[in-house]
Structure 1
Amino acid sequence: MQDSAPAPLTEEQVRRAPKVLLHDHLDGGLRPQTIVELAAGCGHELPVSGGAEELGRWFTESADSGSLERYLETFDHTVGVMQSAQALTRVARECVEDLVEDGVVYAEIRYAPEQHVRDGLSLDEVVAAVQQGFDEGCAAAGDRIVVRQLLTAMRHQARSMEIAELAIAWRDRGVAGFDIAGAEAGYPPTRHLDAFEYLQRENAHFTIHAGEAFGLPSIWQALQWCGADRLGHGVRIIDDITAHEDGSVELGRLAAYVRDKRVPLEMCPMSNLQTGAAASLAEHPIGLLKRLRFRVTVNTDNRLMSGTSMTHEMWSLAQAFDYGLRDLEWFTINAMKSAFLPFDQRFDLISSVIKPGYAALATEAAQG
């Protein structure tokens, strides 16, 4: 796709554009009102008592701390109300509903099954409950969205092999792949090497949170030791790129490898601002990485904590970098190419949904 002058954009056009979401946490996207209602039903004590609006504000303010560790603390109150099959199904169904409203046509939603067994659910029952919610949401939406699960293991725990086996058991029933998440520092991906080797033997897909709060060693291990298909965030690859005063750019060995191998970067700009991975949107590495033609994708990470959506992420980038519809289409096709979905299904979504959707918007914009 060739660069061209960006088409005039409105936020409404961005909302209507087809979008692909690869990095979104189920427990990071609940509706505040749902948390209030589920908490009342299960006896979970919330940090504020003023209702859904105040609770939503508390989540975004608490997450806006510049610390990944503090950011992760907010999940105590979402995970806390997601301990029954009914709650998981409701949250998953509402997730699909919200994504459809946001113009998302394909999504991979991740969560850690091991965090939802406190009240007696088995790991298998957790996955089944989430899948039921996704199925209900997709059925209600008709053919407007495809949603798949990514099963996450927590990097500070020791259940990654168990979760990897769970992902394989469910891979023909709605699970697209595997992930590890949690604080990077002190918990390198190599601690879970047996799980990654097992997944490779099973010809399975997996992504790894790497290069968000920790630097190049985390990215290198995820790729060269563990064999990750994609990088969750990967924002710190910028540390291996040198921009010179004359405008030239020099890639280090790892950055060149990531670009040459077309390793997908699951970038989450608004989340990165909250956790301190970037000082401002204008300074976010996504601008340079796109210009250098890394395989960059745009994602939400945690819609509740970041007060965001795919529309908000893309509209913000369009304003910060003067992007037009062609740029947003480039991000979207990058993501669809990188999805953990069979090739023919990816190709069909690109050719029959994404490209026609952007073409219609471009025609509309040209006509004024």
Structure 2
Amino acid sequence: MNTAPEDLLLPGGGASITSLPKVSLHDHLDGGLRPQTIIELADAIDIDLPETDAAALGDWFAEKSDSGSLVEYLKTFDVTTAVMQTKEGLERVAREFVHDLAADGVIYGEIRWAPEQHLTRGLSLDEVVEAVQEGLDAGVQDVSYAGHSIRVGQLVTAMRHADRGLEIAQLAVRHRNNGVVGFDFAGAEAGFPPSRARDAFDYLAQNLFPTTVHAGEADGLDSIRGALFDGHALRLGHGVRIAEDIEIDSTDNESTYVTLGLLSQWVKDRQVALELSPSSNLQTGAIEAWGDELIDHPFDLLYQLGFRVTVNTDNRLMSNTTLSRELALLSDTFGYDLADIETFQLNAAAAAFLPVEDRMALADAISAGFEDV
């Protein structure tokens, strides 16, 4: 297993965030590779890389990802997906992914990835899903042998620009008893609304299969509407731009009034989970309407108003981050304490694509872990 990440503490030298039980809902498989693994896999299949030293390659990803544009950010995935085209490569990446989650204190993780992007060396859609599941299962077993416990599930993703939505939805449902817990819709958001894949989302609804949709990241409120009403989304991938539907007015006597629009009220009232990823949202320009620093992120506004906010990494390699680091950054910026961090984990547990009994058990495990601090 990988060595444990740096132990991160709450501001003021408080509790260890790294050791707290956590839930990860929005974490891309092709965005979480170890730089050294990329180098070794690339060498095995004769692929050229921009850097051949692990530290330098990690820096390259961080630099290229910090562009302020989702389209530019996504170009870095050309490198990671290139080394994930064989059974061996997929299994290794998935196995190490579980190791790294467990080292960061994650006890339940949903791992999203797009099988259609891993077919260039002859594997079929079903074969790549099976390879990833074998890697995930091996990682869970490794973690168990090391004395830790983690549960993981696949979110099979369709790329919105590729128009293979129904085929990928059928793939996801086909593997619902082999580790796939949900469906995701991702890629360049603007210009590729969920309505383009309405047949896929209708098929998923007919088969009672849960869906999350990337929306409210690189596009605005219409994208979120499409995710909810065309995509039947139970969660919003990022969803940060729902804050565009919130009006804040200050009066002369310094009172502040907040008014929610119909869409934001709907999302709040129905507790549609927001899969917020603070560092990534800065890198891709998702919060540029409010500023370009973490203090400008509407995360705290949404939290204080009672939205079901969750904290995620999005892509640990590109953002050079972990879930513990994201929580530490938020705590440092907004003054969150242990109770706030527990709330974020309970929000994520409630939104997990698990049976209700399993969600309740997950919530109990989280609460027990926080009580032990």
TM-score (norm 2): 0.93
Amino acid at match of 2:349: M
Pairwise CA distance, 1:350: 1.1
Residue 138 (structure 1) aligns with: 140
SS at match of 1:15: coil
Question: 2-side partners of 1:59 and 1:78: how far apart?
Answer: 10
SS at match of 1:14: coil
Question: 2-side partners of 1:179 and 1:64: how far apart?
Answer: 24
Taking the TM superposition and a 5 Å limit, the aligned residue runs for 1:238-277 are 238-245=243-250, 246-277=255-286
Question: 2-side partners of 1:107 and 1:193: how far apart?
Answer: 27
Pairwise CA distance, 1:159: 1.1
2:352 to 334, 339, 342: 339
Pairwise CA distance, 1:134: 0.5
Question: 2-side partners of 1:289 and 1:337: how far apart?
Answer: 17
SS at match of 2:60: helix
Residue 88 (structure 2) aligns with: 86
Residue 6 (structure 2) aligns with: none
2:30 counterpart of 1:27: yes
SS at match of 1:106: strand
Question: 1-side partners of 2:357 and 2:46: how far apart?
Answer: 46
Pairwise CA distance, 1:48: 2.1
Q: Which runs of 5+ in 1 are unaligned?
A: 1-6, 362-368
Residue 108 (structure 2) aligns with: 106
Query: Equivalent pairs: percent with the same residue?
Result: 54
The answer to whether the 8 A contact 1:109-1:148 is kept is: yes
Question: 1-side partners of 2:68 and 2:246: how far apart?
Answer: 23
Question: 1-side partners of 2:149 and 2:248: how far apart?
Answer: 42
SS at match of 2:16: helix
Residue 348 (structure 1) aligns with: 361
Amino acid at match of 1:78: T
Pairwise CA distance, 1:225: 2.3
SS at match of 2:296: coil
1:167 to 163, 172, 177: 172
Taking the TM superposition and a 5 Å limit, the aligned residue runs for 1:255-334 are 255-278=264-287, 279-334=292-347
Question: 2-side partners of 1:224 and 1:181: how far apart?
Answer: 16
Question: 2-side partners of 1:146 and 1:56: how far apart?
Answer: 27
The change in CA–CA distance for 1:214 and 1:233 in structure 2 (over 3 A counts) is same
2:79 counterpart of 1:67: no
Residue 234 (structure 2) aligns with: 229
Deviations 1:102-147 (A, max 9, x none): 0000000000000000000000010000000100010111251100
2:208 to 193, 203, 207: 203
Question: 2-side partners of 1:99 and 1:310: how far apart?
Answer: 9
Deviations 1:20-55 (A, max 9, x none): 000000000000000000000011111123x11100
Pairwise CA distance, 1:9: 5.7
The answer to whether the 8 A contact 1:11-1:315 is kept is: no
1:44 to 17, 25, 47: 47
Question: 2-side partners of 1:86 and 1:120: how far apart?
Answer: 13
Question: 1-side partners of 2:307 and 2:213: how far apart?
Answer: 18
Pairwise CA distance, 1:248: 1.6
The answer to whether the 8 A contact 1:84-1:119 is kept is: yes
Pairwise CA distance, 1:173: 1.2
Question: 2-side partners of 1:97 and 1:8: how far apart?
Answer: 27
Residue 7 (structure 2) aligns with: none
The answer to whether the 8 A contact 2:65-2:319 is kept is: yes
Pairwise CA distance, 1:56: 0.3
Question: 2-side partners of 1:217 and 1:85: how far apart?
Answer: 39
TM-score (norm 1): 0.94
Amino acid at match of 2:358: Q
The answer to whether the 8 A contact 2:116-2:125 is kept is: yes
The answer to whether the 8 A contact 2:211-2:231 is kept is: no
The answer to whether the 8 A contact 1:150-1:176 is kept is: yes
The answer to whether the 8 A contact 1:9-1:325 is kept is: no
The answer to whether the 8 A contact 1:71-1:275 is kept is: yes
Pairwise CA distance, 1:285: 0.9
Question: 2-side partners of 1:256 and 1:11: how far apart?
Answer: 36
The answer to whether the 8 A contact 2:247-2:259 is kept is: yes
Q: Report 1 or 2 for greater relative contact order, CA contacts < 8 Å, sequence distance ≥ 6.
A: 1
Deviations 1:59-96 (A, max 9, x none): 00000010110100000000000000000000000000
2:359 counterpart of 1:357: no
Question: 2-side partners of 1:9 and 1:231: how far apart?
Answer: 33
